[in-house]
Structure 1
């Protein structure tokens, strides 16, 4: 039996050799094999990030797939967006990307596409129910492919006119390091690369570019060398972090706001999707500009599903996932999104901080993690929601994902993470002098529950 704890909402993820073992990987491979055979599509692409355990997981998958007749395309060490691109350009509808994404180094996992659709939710959680007893051994095959040249010709070369900016890049010792030189050589201008070598132990900082403590090095470089902006990636290259010319982290909802407004220049009537953690400013500004903007649950697989259902042109998450459907393939590609963003700045005579200034109308927190036991996470959330409904009974309560409490001058969200053992909190307030008191009130509420409030307490003390 596959450990149920690793069968998450969006993908499979756990601590290697603890919650996620090679025995689990073997059973996952057998269940997926059965699904592929039933679909009459016995082929699959496999890529992996640079984590220490990724090769062992890949080899275990390949051994089991080829034992039962599956044809494997091995695209080797590669960023997640290029694995998605491979599925499109090789016209193979099935894909496994081995990655722990933005999680700590001891984690790993599997992101999957089956039959050209994200494989998530009930599909993942029912893997243990797949009957593999009828599988018959027969020889499969392994073929190696490198999609980078095709990606450069089709995608990167769209941005060869970016040439006037000074940009510092931080792959964070993640999988983007494998192709970062292709990116910088394509766009020209002045480019400096930090932490390029791929190292699955992430020796320089944690691989999440949306957290301020992880962008200290790139921020200091920008300030000391008067660069125009910084671009940082997570461990597998599907999340982007942008740092402005003053060395400040730009929240991902503001990145998405500018990208959506920019896309409207290409296509007048666009539909956009943003996740429940995003700023009210984002939703209000896009509505005011005639953009149809929809709110989604958090999660890359859930957003991809909504893009298809609503025929959306662009989507974004607070976590740094940006999805282009108009003029692209509808998946989250942090490389493509970062280049689209850089192109906005390259076409402007203003600095990034000046471009963003009109939208800086509130005080807001980043995503703050409140750690807890995985087994207690959803019960904790349910009990907290019950209390909040009583305390904030005059507010608008949006329960699309956890609960988003919306008042006339502030909103906050508390939801369960589907990738880590924590609840996630965010607050935005439009009366700056009341921002800190509201956080204090919420801390008092949360103290009743078995939560680690260190991140929230630290943020409160710092503001």
Structure 2
């Protein structure tokens, strides 16, 4: 049982060597035992389109049932559909076999217990159960069920577009293709479906990542070629959103959140709006300007959902594309619903989408810059970085997740990735000179704690 498969808020590893059928059966037993101890004897199960997902799901179900959990098999569904089903059925538990945006060689498990995504503590408890063989026994039932129509109907009743839009939706040859074209057509959009044929040879093999511009390039090209109002792309399991405006430009999630927060705060003034440490400093300014309370928090969808629930905030989002609405929705990260809310706002403005987003500029900013390191080394390096922060002066230091340094003209961040053995960097500044100075500051800091590393900037 390799320790590295237990991530802060999910379980993920290499197919065949780490994520084996035997391991998935044992994991199913641990998950079922945890669910039963929380008073929930039923488990929703779904899976993505990876070739390995079908047999790994079958193994998981064997384990769940052998520990006495009743299984409701939703089949191939995006993660937000399972989240929706868990709420619809009364906050029961759920498991999705997926590795999100990671390559096809990987697979894993995302979990919901009693209406809440798994936290680091939950994952640690599952690992302990596996290590000690602490499982219940029983003979759980099994049946199949589809909730896709209910999901689509619920969003259709929730969203009102005031004018038709032409949009391109990129299903990525993955489970989002099951939802996106149907949903946005039902809302009244003219939909151009891109990579939505799940009989294509690339289905389940091409893994989309909406946080990466190269993953969205074909979508951007099709928005321009078709004169579309907007392009929407999705993560491999549908919980992350990517946006292309009418000029073919990628709109980062922090800018999308500016639009969403401005509209939400006009209806719910004074609300908390959460965002992660990788987001632009301009986002906090926009939230404050429109009467909200900006709350910066740790990166990671589970951390944001947990904090959002604690504060009862109506909106939260992460730079990598997770967006959670809780004013008119269930508080989970749902890219399809977030896309629909964005469309609702855009239809209330007669201008093209690129003009709407132009009202919310950011500074000169880098994408997230990833520096791979040896497994476990990322935490050791960050411990030394935090020890060295006392050398800094004349700046605002934030350490809720890594080290973020803010000045009047810009900011920089280094943190340990939650999803891979790597360090993550990001920078934003009012001008190139300030950006260069910030990056020089971080180079000097990293040279002190890890002189052998070559920075990705």
TM-score normalized with structure 2 length: 0.93
Distance apart, 1:109 and its partner CA:
1.2
Deviation of residue 92 (structure 1)? 4.8
Is residue 439 of structure 2 the alignment partner of residue 439 of structure 1?
yes
Tell me, what secondary structure is at the counterpart of 1:278?
coil
CA shift at 1:321, angstroms?
0.5
Q: Secondary structure at the match of 1:155?
A: helix
In structure 1, the partner of 2:331 is 330
CA distance, structure 2, for counterparts of residue 273 and residue 380 of structure 1: 27
Matches within 5 A, 1:22-421: 22-130=21-129, 131-132=132-133, 135-136=136-137, 138-159=138-159, 161=161, 163-198=163-198, 206-387=207-388, 389-390=390-391, 392-421=392-421
Q: Report if the CA contact (8 A) 2:45-2:72 is conserved.
A: yes
CA distance in 1, matches of 2:72, 2:371: 40
SS of alignment partner, residue 376 of structure 2: helix
Q: Secondary structure, in 3 states, of the residue corresponding to 1:112?
A: strand
Q: Give distance in 1, aligned partners of 2:77 and 2:393.
A: 49
Gap runs ≥5 in structure 1: 458-463
Distance 2:78 2:135 in 1: 35
The question of whether the paired residues in 2 share the 8 Å contact of 1:174 and 1:200 is answered with no
Count matched residues: 452
Change (3 A) 1:206 1:29: closer
Choose 405-414 or 443-452, whichever is displaced more: 443-452
Task: Give the direction of change, closer, same or farther, for the CA distance of 1:332–1:284 in structure 2 (3 Å limit).
Answer: same
Compute the displacement of 1:273 (Å). Answer: 0.8
Alpha-carbon deviations, 1:201-226, whole Å to 9, x = none? 66896411121111111111222332
Q: Shift in Å at residue 82 of structure 1?
A: 0.4
Are residues 25 and 205 of structure 1, via their aligned partners in 2, closer, same or farther at CA, if it must alter by over 3 Å? Answer: closer
The question of whether the paired residues in 2 share the 8 Å contact of 1:44 and 1:92 is answered with no
Match of 2:422 in 1: 422
Q: Which moved more, 1:329-338 or 1:37-46?
A: 37-46
SS at match of 1:215: helix
**1-side partners of 2:101 and 2:190: how far apart?**
28
- TM-superposed CA distance for 1:161, in Å, is 3.4
Secondary structure of 1:404's aligned partner = strand
Q: 1:67 to 1:19 in 2, by over 3 A?
A: closer
Q: CA deviation at 1:170?
A: 0.7
Aligned Cα RMSD in Å?
A: 2.2
Q: For 2:440 and 2:383, how far apart are their aligned partners in 1?
A: 21
Q: Which consecutive residues of structure 2, in runs of 5 or more, have no partner in the other structure? A: none
Q: Contact conserved, 2:29 with 2:66, CA < 8 A, in 1?
A: no
TM-score, normalised by the number of residues in structure 1: 0.92
